[in-house]
Structure 1
Amino acid sequence: MAVEVTKLENGITVVTHSMPHLASAALGVWVAAGSRSEAADENGISHLLEHMAFKGTKKRSAKDIAEEIENVGGEVNAATSIESTSYYARVLAGDVPLALDILSDILQNSLFEPDELDREKHVIGQEIGAALDAPEDFVFDMFQQAAFPGQAIGRPILGSIETVKSFSDDALRTYLNRHYTGGRTVIAAAGKLGHRELVRMARRKFQHFGEAESVVPERAVYVGGEAREERDLMEAQVVLGFPGIAYGADDYITAQIASSILGGGMSSRLFQEIREKRGLCYSIYAFHWGFEDAGIFGISAATGERDAGAVVEETMNEIARASTAVTAVEVKRAQSQLRAGLLMALESPVARAGQIARHIMFHGRTLPLDELVTRINAVTPQKVCEFLEKIVVAPNPTLAAIGPIAKVPSVDSIAAGAVSAKASAA
């Protein structure tokens, strides 16, 4: 069945992909409001709001919410990211009306009772503490802040203990009313369900949702920089970053292909050269994050104190070598990985619902599979080299490092070394 899209009168978009061969369906509400929608003194409120949505409504207690969905064998969850927050459920096909009713209830009728709010703020404080104690996670908060200093997009999703403690029930309602608007909301579903019926139910359940005018987040500007923290650990966590590509830009797929070639698996260049051949690290991989108006290309490595400097140096050497030549075989392998990911998502209603929701939120339309495959197939070795060339000559890389990092070079040294690596690779 084809993907179907309907825009409701209040601006909410309903998108479905019918999979009649399944016995279940996944459905959810995706709101284009995440940590980058927050003011500095609101940092963490998106995540707190996501938690509080499950703590009781005018007609359901927190226990009722959990029991009603689990009584039918279903599950419900939520997640906050930099640019969106999602609330979703998976149930058997006959229980789709119940799931939609629960989702509409928690998003429109949550009570935010003071006792529950205080308890959840304490829980999130523990979550923040756990993240601070996990260097492999905390280094990415450091990385994001160094890449986008002083900007909402650079602040941690969880917020700080201080900001989270400051939030009142009125602050939650104000934030919800300002950002949870129809124009920034998508109801997406995939599985055994009908589009018309879901539209009919959504129109009724969400008729008063998000009537305020949508607020557009501030524009992101990649800056680059350095964040270091010496800790008494066995391993150093090091993340290198460079300007990337926004997800709507022409070269976005090229950046994804480049990421896969450099560090997308055990056959990738970085893994083979630095882990397998030289034994300099335990783990190393590349990633590319695309946002609405910016992007960041990065390399993450976990290594011992003695080898930390060599890992950074060899990583830059490998990027420089790849900027001069990648093979058709490498590009084909990376293309196969991306195509496989797209096709495998079609086998999971949860993955597919999220996929089509993000298409609507970030592209304003659903992207047909054949269009995506055509874009993937259009990437050539030359395009990959041209993208990596920009990274090598970028004057403003980002470095985040935590652990025994005395031998990790400064970000200025990395930028200067990149030029030398490029000259050697030419």
Structure 2
Amino acid sequence: MRLAFERRHTPGFAFDLRLPVGSAHDPVGQEGAGGLLEEWLFKGAGGRSARELQDAFDDLGVRRGGGVGLEATRLSVSGLADDLRPALALIADVLIRPTLPEAELPVLLDLARQDLEALQDSPTDLLAVCARSAAFPRPAGSRFAGHAHPASGTPQGLAALDAGGLRAHLQRYGQSGSVLGLVADMEPEQAHDLVLGVLGELRFGEDAPVPAHFQAGARAHVPEPEAEQTHLSLTAPGVAPTHPDWLPWQIALGALSGGSASRLFQAVREERGLAYAVSASPVILGAQGFLTVYSGSTPARAPETLEVLLAELARLPQGLSAAEFERARAGLNASVTFGAEGLRGRAGGLTRDVALFGRVRPLSGLRESLARLTLDDVNTFLHGYDPIRGLSVVTLGPQELPHA
């Protein structure tokens, strides 16, 4: 396990533990294992029942968060400085000494099935799952289920889960590949000794990244005959976090979809009134960066919406204007600054930095890098960037689009 620590003279603390096991690591045929296991872990630990464990967190007055993502499970806690050790000890109990009462499994399985049913009533969430399934199909022969299912699993996967399989899956959760981001008022040596003393017994675990093999040119339509909207999702290759062009790519995304002055907002919503919602965002899977674009439109205007989205992506290689560059850089600088102000945000940032970039990126260094970045730097990158090539398109609605 790697510890990313930052000292702040504050009466509070925050930590964010990232375990490199997410829903993509669910065993083939046991989709939903990670999501169910995360819930099961908090049904009692360290000799406490589920109610006693919850009371122990509440008695400390801490805020708890986290959850199961595609590539990792996160456990985060924040509170007052005096409660750091007992809060970390409770998380250690959850991971090292869970009760795992089998009587709770039927209830948890039923809740997971309800989540899957609710997914059908959320077109945007359902589209996101279907878009991943089309763009990142599971490689043949992989022991992992991959990125094409929600954390709640699949009906078939949930039906196959049992206590033995979940306990075996828990053995993957350990120190290997894990990162703990901690912000508190103490010496670095004290932080190291605290984490070692409390989490030192955590099993070795497994760090086995799930590759994201992008299916270039994928096309799919999810029929929803009664839907009043057509939802569109586009996925294109991007830039990896460790690549030198990461910052230029972030600036380009800010110009594309960074507020009311952004290209997508203006072209899709303001100028043509095609859609109320339109956005573009980066996604990181398998240490690679990808660009995803979303919009929802009426079925009649969905083909035109897709045409405009494609046109805006196609003109990115022509470069940004000076005004677009300055707005995007200012927005990214503000995001970096304000995102690190809160203890919880900074703890999560430390964890994310180490997991994605291999090191902590000092805030001062990030601001300096942004200040040194020029319009020529960004446009030089964009001249060689073609998001249209290999683009995948997935739609959800009453009828398939001609272009999709």
Q: TM above 0.5, one fold?
A: yes
Q: Indicate whether 1:355 and 2:319 are aligned.
A: no
Q: Indicate whether 1:15 and 2:10 are aligned.
A: no
Q: Which moved more, 1:50-59 or 1:276-285?
A: 50-59
In 1, distance between residues paired with 2:332 and 2:30? 36
1:380: which partner in 2?
Answer: 375
1:322: which partner in 2?
Answer: 316
2:86: which partner in 1?
Answer: 98
- Paired residue for 2:175, among 176, 182, 190? 182
Whether contact under 8 Å (1:356, 1:366) holds in the other structure is yes
In 1, distance between residues paired with 2:191 and 2:167? 27
In 2, distance between residues paired with 1:295 and 1:154? 17
Q: CA separation of 1:180/1:379 partners in 2, compared to 1, >3 Å: closer, same or farther?
A: farther
**Structure 1 gap segments, 5+ residues each:** 1-11, 412-426
In 2, distance between residues paired with 1:393 and 1:73? 50
Q: CA separation of 1:40/1:381 partners in 2, compared to 1, >3 Å: closer, same or farther?
A: farther
Alignment-mate amino acid for residue 378 of structure 2:
K
Deviation at 1:306, TM superposition (A): 1.2
In 2, distance between residues paired with 1:262 and 1:123? 39
Deviation at 1:304, TM superposition (A): 0.7
Q: Indicate whether 1:290 and 2:279 are aligned.
A: no
In 1, distance between residues paired with 2:293 and 2:378? 20
- Paired residue for 2:402, among 403, 409, 419? 409
Alignment-mate amino acid for residue 188 of structure 1:
G
Deviation at 1:392, TM superposition (A): 4.6
2:143: which partner in 1?
Answer: none
- Paired residue for 2:385, among 386, 390, 409? 390
In 2, distance between residues paired with 1:111 and 1:82? 25
Q: Please give the per-residue CA displacement for 1:169-225, whole angstroms capped at 9, x wherever unaligned.
A: 222221221x2232211222124444333322221222221225x342243221131
Q: Indicate whether 1:161 and 2:149 are aligned.
A: no
Q: Which moved more, 1:54-63 or 1:348-357?
A: 54-63
Partner SS for 2:44: coil
Deviation at 1:381, TM superposition (A): 5.0
Whether contact under 8 Å (1:57, 1:111) holds in the other structure is yes
Q: Please give the per-residue CA displacement for 1:25-60, whole angstroms capped at 9, x wherever unaligned.
A: 111321112123233223222222221121112411
Q: CA separation of 1:280/1:318 partners in 2, compared to 1, >3 Å: closer, same or farther?
A: same
In 2, distance between residues paired with 1:303 and 1:382? 35
1:217: which partner in 2?
Answer: 209
**Structure 2 gap segments, 5+ residues each:** 140-145
In 2, distance between residues paired with 1:405 and 1:194? 61
1:52: which partner in 2?
Answer: 40
Deviation at 1:251, TM superposition (A): 2.1
In 2, distance between residues paired with 1:388 and 1:137? 33
In 2, distance between residues paired with 1:311 and 1:355? 35
Whether contact under 8 Å (2:18, 2:73) holds in the other structure is yes
In 2, distance between residues paired with 1:389 and 1:276? 29
- Paired residue for 2:124, among 130, 136, 157? 136
In 1, distance between residues paired with 2:166 and 2:48? 19
Q: Indicate whether 1:229 and 2:222 are aligned.
A: yes
1:421: which partner in 2?
Answer: none
Whether contact under 8 Å (1:74, 1:89) holds in the other structure is yes
Deviation at 1:389, TM superposition (A): 5.5
1:422: which partner in 2?
Answer: none
In 1, distance between residues paired with 2:397 and 2:80? 47
Q: CA separation of 1:218/1:29 partners in 2, compared to 1, >3 Å: closer, same or farther?
A: closer
Q: Please give the per-residue CA displacement for 1:104-147, whole angstroms capped at 9, x wherever unaligned.
A: 01011112211112211111111121122200111000111111
Whether contact under 8 Å (1:324, 1:385) holds in the other structure is no
Q: Please give the per-residue CA displacement for 1:66-112, whole angstroms capped at 9, x wherever unaligned.
A: 21121232122221111211111111111111110111010111122
Q: C-alpha root-mean-square deviation of aligned residues, in Å?
A: 2.0
Question: Quick check: which one's helix share is greater?
Answer: 1
Partner SS for 1:158: coil
Q: CA separation of 1:382/1:318 partners in 2, compared to 1, >3 Å: closer, same or farther?
A: farther
In 1, distance between residues paired with 2:151 and 2:290? 17
Aligned residues: 395
Alignment-mate amino acid for residue 30 of structure 2:
E
In 2, distance between residues paired with 1:159 and 1:145? 13
Alignment-mate amino acid for residue 129 of structure 2:
D
2:135: which partner in 1?
Answer: 147
Partner SS for 1:182: coil
Deviation at 1:17, TM superposition (A): 1.5
Deviation at 1:385, TM superposition (A): 6.6
Q: Indicate whether 1:309 and 2:303 are aligned.
A: yes
Whether contact under 8 Å (1:270, 1:315) holds in the other structure is yes
Partner SS for 1:153: coil
Q: Percent identity?
A: 23
In 2, distance between residues paired with 1:383 and 1:333? 13
When the two structures are superposed, what TM-score results if normalisation uses the length of structure 2? 0.91
Deviation at 1:370, TM superposition (A): 3.1
Alignment-mate amino acid for residue 320 of structure 1:
A
Aligned pairs for 1:235-254 (under 5 A) are: 235-254=229-248
Q: Please give the per-residue CA displacement for 1:267-288, whole angstroms capped at 9, x wherever unaligned.
A: 1011012101111111111111
Q: Which moved more, 1:39-48 or 1:236-245?
A: 39-48
Question: Which has the higher relative contact order, 1 or 2, with Cα contacts under 8 A spaced 6 or more apart?
Answer: 2
Q: CA separation of 1:261/1:359 partners in 2, compared to 1, >3 Å: closer, same or farther?
A: same
Partner SS for 1:136: helix
In 2, distance between residues paired with 1:78 and 1:340? 24
Alignment-mate amino acid for residue 199 of structure 1:
H
- Paired residue for 1:200, among 179, 193, 199? 193
